[in-house]
Amino acid sequence: MPRTETSASGAEAPAVELVGLSKTFGSVRANDAVSFRVERGSIHGVIGENGAGKSTAMKMLYGIYTPDAGKILVEGKVRRWRSPQDAIAAGIGMVHQHFMLAGPHSALDNILLGAETSRRAWSWLPPPLRPIDRSAARAKLQALAERYSLPVDWDTPVERLPVGIQQRIEILKLLYRDARILILDEPTAVLTPQETQDLFANLRRLRGEGKTVLIITHKLKEVMAVTDRVTVFRGGKVTGGVETEATSPQELADLMVGRAVHLQVKVPPQPEPGQAALRLRDLKLTGREGGVERLKGVSLEVRSGEVVGIAGVEGNGQSELLESILRPAELLSGRVEVLGQDVTDLPTAEIKAMGVGWVPEDRHRDGLLLNRPVRENFLLGLQSSAAFSRSGLVQWGEVDAAVKRALEEYDVRPRDPDVNAGGLSGGNQQKLIIAREFERKPRLLVAAQPTRGVDVGAIEFIHDRILKARTEGAGVLLVSSELDEVLALSDRILVLYEGRIVAEFTRAQADEKRIGAAMGGSA
């Protein structure tokens, strides 16, 4: 237990110091005597598995949660927030993982939102009625943008700007409000490798200007690349604080998980690729509201015993590609073949019954019934199978036996079929889905973002399972925005950009730089 230090005064005080912070939700100790300090003018990584408590700590720092015990010191002064407003006023800003931007509005208006200024001449009006003084704001922003080299097109609706620029707008929003301490929650989740590099350059520039940056992340590579110090969370406690220079990804991973982890995926030799498990021919699809084509003629083939990875920045047609395999009837044109059979006109249930395992990209939305017990989630999609139903009746006894076995085999914790799926951690939810989909003994496995928001220990397990399916002769289509994951698992890599396959690499040819370039559209 680190000794609690009260404020060193003045300029030497750290930017942020958390002393013995605790927070309990119900019976869960989300934070247990969390203490660490963040030096001024540094980039500080906050890492940990899902549910380790890093977000809780940051939310207390930002005033979203009130600590049950402990102190928050900002620049040497003990602070108590009643709401994020107080934290913002004290110079703390946060960029959330999901950007808080109003899409149809310009960058300028998004930044002004909530901090509108007007000319003195209008001060007799009640604040909501005062005309906004955009030109003064624009001048101030222009100066900020130049100082930190963060150029932005002020007048385009933000929804038409690339994600990297949107993030830049979020950062400018904080700077506009005079934030000195910036918290970024998983900032690279939606960026291309190039955008990530740009972000890091910007963060270093901010550091150079004396700002303090906290990055919440689970990507060890990025922690190593950009931070000065790292604080590691596990089980609601701080398990380590290290200088980045003096550590390694392996040490950080071990600290996060609490045991030795294999960061490197061991890929078994590829079996002889067999028949086509999945063949897509010239798929074309428009968006839900019609209009722009989201798939512009995608063709690909996945053979049994091979993993084909789809790399690409999110929003380049991945969701539509997945959708069209599951519901080919909604395609504008093109054919879908599964295991040699044309399924274009078949309903989803029949396609899946052919032996298609499906790990959806958004497990909360598409994969689980969050308010129903694990038992029912395991049955979902298998309810009509011969193993679990007879003359229209669910054989709960057999379901229970299978669930029990599967929870054990796939190491889902807790091993309790009565717990609601929403109560499991992200990693365990994903393992539950994998367990369910493997119950079909899939001959085609489609895994979309299989390790998103999943902790390091579970990632290892899920990767092993995917490769095991391949060894057993299944064809695997892997769609992931984590380039590292695609690189590690795929026998062939296809890059999807704006609804087209723009590049193809074999495992031997795969090269992060070239794939990154293709993901950004310059193949």
Partner 1 sequence: MSWGRAMDRWMPVLRALLSVIAGFAAGLAVTWVAGESPWNVFMILIRSAFGSWYDLGMTLFYTTPLLLTGLSVAICFQAGLFNIGAEGQLTLGALAAAVTGVVLAGLPWPLAPVAAAAAAFGTGAFWGWIAGWLRARRGSHEVITTIMLNFVAAGLSSYVALYLFPNPDSQNPETRPVAKSFLIQHLSVFGDAPVSTALILAVAMCVAYGFLMRRTVLGFELRSVGQSERAARVAGIDPGKIQILAMVLAGGLAGLVGVGEVLGNAEKFKLGFSPQYGFVGIAVALLGRGNPVGVAAAALLFGALHKGTGDLDFETENVTRDLSMILQALVILSVSADGLWDWVKRRV
Q: Of these, 381, 427, 450, 516, which contacts partner 1 (CB under 8 A)?
A: 381
Pick the piece of the chain touching partner 1 (CB under 8 A) from 173-181, 191-199, 241-249, 365-373: 365-373
Smallest distance from the beta carbon of 392 to partner 1, in angstroms? 5
The tokens describing 337, both together, are 């073949």
State in angstroms the smallest separation of the CB of 445 from partner 1: 14
Interaction of residue 371 with partner 1, rule CB under 8 A = yes
Cβ 40 vs Cβ 211: under 8 Å? no
Residues near 499 by beta carbon (within 8 Å), at least 6 away in sequence: 293, 294, 295, 296, 298, 316, 317, 320
Smaller CB separation from partner 1, 158 or 321: 321
Tokens of 248: 């390694």
Of the pair 93, 367, the CB lying nearest partner 1 is at: 367
- Binding span for partner 1 by CB under 8 A among 80-88, 260-268, 393-401, 491-499: 393-401
- Terminal CA-CA length for the chain: 52
Q: Is 29 exposed, middle or buried (0-12, 13-18, 19+ CB in 10 A)?
A: middle
224 or 353: CB nearest partner 1: 353
| Helix, strand, coil percentages, rounded to 5, for the chain | 35, 25, 40
The nearer residue to partner 1, 218 or 375, going by C-beta atoms, is: 375
Helical pair 426-438 and 396-409, crossing angle rounded to 10 deg? 120
Tokens of 143: 């100066």
The interaxial angle of helices 193-208 and 512-519, nearest 10 deg, is: 90
Angle between helices 249-257 and 456-471 (to 10 degrees): 100
CA distance 20 to 2: 9
Candidate residues 393, 397, 508, 513; the one interacting with partner 1 per rule CB under 8 A: 393
What are 363's two structure tokens? 């497990």
Output 27 or 264, the one with its CB closest to partner 1: 27
Tokens representing 123 are 């001060």
Closest separation in Å from C-beta 404 to partner 1 = 17
In whole angstroms, how close is the CB of 452 to partner 1 at the nearest point? 16
- Single residue of 152, 232, 325, 368 touching partner 1 by CB under 8 A: 368
Q: Is the peptide bond before 162 cis (omega within 30 degrees of 0)?
A: no
Chosen residue from 90, 370, 502, 523 binding partner 1 by CB under 8 A: 370
CA-to-CA distance for 428 and 213, rounded, in angstroms?
Answer: 31
**Which tokens is 420 given?**
């609601």
Q: Could you tell me how far CA 338 lies from the centroid of its own chain?
A: 30
Binding to partner 1 in span 406-445, by CB under 8 A: 418
Q: Cβ of 70: how many Cβ atoms within 10 Å?
A: 19
Residues in the chain: 523
Number of amino acids touching partner 1 (CB under 8 A): 31
In the bound complex, what is the minimum distance in angstroms from residue 372's beta carbon to partner 1? 6
Closer CB to partner 1, residue 297 or residue 373? Answer: 373
DSSP string covering 488-507: HH-SEEEEEETTEEEEEEET
Phi, psi of 340 (to 5 degrees): 80, 0
C-beta of residue 35 within 8 angstroms of C-beta of residue 21: yes
Q: Which stretch binds partner 1 (CB under 8 A): 155-163, 179-187, 388-396, 457-465?
A: 388-396
Cβ 307 vs Cβ 491: under 8 Å: yes
Nearer to partner 1, 179 or 479 (CB): 479
d(CA 90, CA 75): 10
Q: Strands 444-448 and 356-359: what pairing?
A: parallel
Q: How far is the CB of 363 from partner 1 (least distance, A)?
A: 9
Residues 344-363 touching partner 1, rule: CB under 8 A, are: 347-353, 358, 360
Q: Spell out, one character per residue from 277 to 316, where the chain touches partner 1: x when CB under 8 A holds, - when not.
A: ----------------------------------------
Min CB(3)–partner 1 separation in Å:
35
Identify the residue among 105, 372, 404, 452 touching partner 1 (CB under 8 A): 372
- Select the residue interacting with partner 1 from 365, 386, 508, 513 (CB under 8 A): 365
Beta strand 237-243 with 276-286 is unpaired
Residue ranges in 229-248 that form contacts with partner 1 under rule CB under 8 A: none
**Stretch binding partner 1 (CB under 8 A), from 90-98, 126-134, 335-343, 364-372:** 364-372
Q: Tell me the closest approach of the beta carbon of residue 348 to partner 1, in angstroms.
A: 5
Shortest distance in whole angstroms from residue 355 CB to partner 1 = 13
The only residue of 7, 303, 389, 517 in contact with partner 1, by rule CB under 8 A: 389
Of the candidates 33, 73, 70, the residue with the CA atom closest to the CA atom of residue 53: 33
**Residue number, 209 or 398, with CB nearest to partner 1:** 398
Closest CB 281 distance from partner 1, rounded Å: 23
User: How far apart (Å, rounded) are the C-alpha atoms in residues 493 and 495?
Assistant: 7
CB of 269 to partner 1, least distance (A): 33
| Residues in 51-110 that interact with partner 1 by CB under 8 A | none
Residues that bind partner 1 in the complex, under the rule CB under 8 A = 27, 326, 347-353, 358, 360, 365-372, 376, 379-381, 383-384, 389, 392-394, 396, 418
